[in-house]
Amino acid sequence: MGAWENDLSGWTIRWIALLPFMAAIAHGLLIGLVRARISDRTIWAISMSALATSFGLSVLSLSDLVSSSGYQPILDTVGPWIGGGVGPRSFSAELTFQFDPLSAVFCVAITAIALSVYVYAIGQFASGLIGREVAHRTFAMLDLLVGSTLVLVLADNLLLFFLGWAGVGIASQLFASFQFDDRDASRAGAKTFVIGRVGDLGLLAAMLLLFDGLSRAGAPVLTFRGIEAAFRLLEGQGVLWLSYGFSEAPLLLEIVGFGLVLAALTKCAQLPLHFWLPHASAGPVTANALMQSVTTVVVGIYVLLRFAFLLDTAPAALEILIAAGSATMLLASLAAATQLDLSRLLALTTSSVMGLVVVGIGVGAYSTAAFLLLTHGFVKALLLLASGVVLTTLKGESDLRKMGGLSQRMRWTQGVFGLGALALVGFPPFANFFPIEELLAFLWISERPESDLVLMVAIASLGVLAFALGRAFFLIFWGNVRPGGLVERQLNDPTGWRQHSLTALAVMAVLAGLLTPSQFWAELFGAPTEQMDSIGFFLTSSIPGAPDPELLGFERGALIGLMSISVLIGILASGFRYARRGYRGEPKHPVLRGTIEATREMLYIERGYDLLLVRPLRWLSQFALVRGIETQLIDRVVVSGGSGLGRQIVWNLFRRLQNGRLQSYTLLGLLTVLVVVSWMVV
């Protein structure tokens, strides 16, 4: 029986990722090729059955992994995939999926949250909020997004990993430009595409340099297990072709670290490549819930977690992570606090929390960063889906200045949104509180010279973030009724599928933080550390670093108190300003108005890219390429000039032959007969 169970788990891993992919392909064939009109229930049943099966297989495989000794990874090999090279530098890659503690935890979280989002989408479909064609296209893209993420999470080698990464990028771009006939949506898709390709370049460069270095060292491996076993061979190895202008060649592992950091920052919407996410937030609310909770932003962090064994050898890359994460935490929270659009505000809160996760990885708190990533997934999905209820009630209106008074008839929605907001900023005892206080404790004990400053920035950012979400809460549900008012029968809380989805996520937003609290809480309650922090210790077999910060007693309590006070001040300040009167308008003083506008636009970084890169490239393409090369050279010289020259040659030839003289025609006929006879003889 045990052997049969091992064989069973050895070939079920592949279906965790492949089933959503197969559902996406089925939808694509029905939409684009067959063009069949299927029933409403069949549309969502295809996606729901595939994802539910993936969730069940994830739970069963996790049970098998926990019951195994030493949490040995479960490998599912489909067969040979690709190979090449000659002699000792030959390599091969098999189509293998790996189910280890890191991928197991993420698979369960991804499929569980995706199930809740799918249930919400079914509720939208069933209640007539979205049409058949839109629903069919939405489910197809959701399947592609979830399937690509699961492929990346379960990948055993670099090639399969990059395949999943590319799929996530494609699905994110499709959702950003979902309303393709809208100009703003098209631009959002273009920005998502360009920023995504920057991340692709960083990841691809890191992978190629890593494989080339290992090949030169006599270990051409592609699997993560092989790379982890052999990467020490690359210590001290430089990249010679990058040594021009330097006294020494840059270290290969440092360059690989830079590539991984670049890839992670693009997907996590971190400075200076953050602006694609607020623009992409105009897509379907279900897509935003997945992109900002357990797919697009998560894969950026997952890259760093999967390659965590390499990051300690690239200290400069870790410094970039800390700097970018700290700046994004502060600036994104300030931008959210001054934002006028609800969707953009929530997207900026995602960037801010991901900044804290990035900082945690920079200081070596890998397990705690993964913990925050998981709890944030449940909380952000809840908050975004609750905002979807608000946007649906207001007929798509997302301007906070035009909201207010919804609590009169939508008290349940108000409670769910408020719960999600409190959980997101780490208000005790909700989900994000436990991992955030752990990360702050890691910063407290960190020996890095900038750790004290980063700790202050993190605590201040949490307070500003609490103010931003409190401001949104009071502007939406309290204050004055928006101009024009609403028809009373439109003010209703969601029922049926949507209510069930939000209820499940709300429960997890309360309880998710109790999955793996730190040793600090174990000591307070007198429980064994391993039992209290089960997931944290479970992950240590896949990622390096301690699962908990070694900070107990008064210092830990004081740090928690400081964090809670900062959050409470932000909430009270937002209530004092917006709870009764709602939106009060922009400040009249030009300096204050300009400061708020600059903060709202995150210091005009996106506009700087437009001035320095986009406009010069647009000018180059319009004047040099279009008018110069295409119009003047190709059209006039090559096409028009070439056709005119050919026409002139043919005209002169026929004019000489068609001259009206009998001897010329006779000579032409004799030559023709001579050619035919010669051909027949040969």
- Reported as a single tens digit per residue, the pLDDT across 28-40 is 888 767 666 777 7
> Cis link prior to 429 (omega < 30° from 0)?
yes
Whole-number Å distance between alpha carbons of 171 and 150 = 13
Percentage of the chain lying above the pLDDT 90 cut: 37
Cβ neighbors of 367 (< 8 A, separation 6 or more) are 536, 539, 540, 543, 545, 546, 547, 548
Beta-bridged to residue 97, according to DSSP, are 76, 155
C-beta neighbour count of 141 within 10 angstroms:
24
How many Cα neighbours within 13 Å face the side chain of 418? 16
Q: How would residue 555 be classed by pLDDT, with cut points 50, 70 and 90?
A: confident
* Whole-angstrom distance, CA of residue 28 vs CA of residue 39: 16
Rounded average pLDDT over 409-413: 87
Distance CA(534)–CA(62), nearest Å, equals 14
The pLDDT value recorded for residue 245 is 59
Mean pLDDT of 428-432: 90
pLDDT of residue 20: 92
Contact 76, 97 (CB under 8 A): yes
**pLDDT for the residue 2:** 44
Q: Is 511 exposed, middle or buried (0-12, 13-18, 19+ CB in 10 A)?
A: middle
- What value does the mean pLDDT of the chain take? 83
The residue type at 287: A
Q: Alpha-carbon distance 212 to 196, whole Å?
A: 24
Given a cut of 50, whether residue 658 has pLDDT beyond it is yes
Q: How far apart are CA 545 and CA 650, in angstroms?
A: 79
Tokens 């950091």: give the residue.
261
**Weakest-pLDDT range from 31-35, 187-191, 279-283:** 31-35
- For the segment 149-164, the average pLDDT, to the nearest whole number, is 92
pLDDT at 333: 95
Q: Mean pLDDT, to the nearest integer, of 511-525? A: 76
- DSSP letter string, 561-576: HHHHHHHHHHHHHHHH
Q: How confident is the model at residue 612 (pLDDT cuts 50, 70, 90)?
A: confident
Closest by Cα among 353, 345, 586 to 472: 345
Residue 168 has pLDDT above 50, yes or no: yes
Question: ∠ at Cα 361 (195, 150), nearest 5°?
Answer: 60
Contact 289, 385 (CB under 8 A): yes
Q: Looking at residues 563-578, what average pLDDT do you find?
A: 93
Spatial distance between the Cα atoms of 134 and 139, rounded to a whole number of angstroms: 9
Give me the pLDDT at residue 487, please: 43
CB neighbour list of residue 328: distance below 8 Å, 6 or more residues apart: 269, 270, 271, 274, 351, 352, 354, 355, 358
**Tokens 């990948």 identify what position?**
155
Query: Among candidates 26, 68, 88, 86, which has minimal Cα distance to 51?
Result: 26
Q: Name the pLDDT band for 585 (thresholds 50, 70, 90).
A: confident
For 89-137, what is each residue's pLDDT tens digit?
666 778 889 999 999 999 999 999 999 999 999 998 888 778 778 888 8
Q: What is the pLDDT of residue 398?
A: 87
DSSP string, 35-96: -----HHHHHHHHHHHHHHHHHHHHHHHHHHHHSGGGPPEEEEEEEEEEE-SGGG-EEEEEE
Q: Residue 14 CA to chain centroid, in angstroms?
A: 22
The Cα 401–Cα 341 span in angstroms is: 9
How much is the average pLDDT of 461-480?
91
* pLDDT at residue 682 tops 60: no
Distance CA 262, CA 304 (A): 10
Give the pLDDT score at 620. Answer: 73
pTM: 0.87
Residue 475 pLDDT greater than 80, yes or no: yes
Query: What confidence tens digit (pLDDT) does each residue in 239-269 have?
Result: 766 666 566 777 888 999 999 999 999 999 9
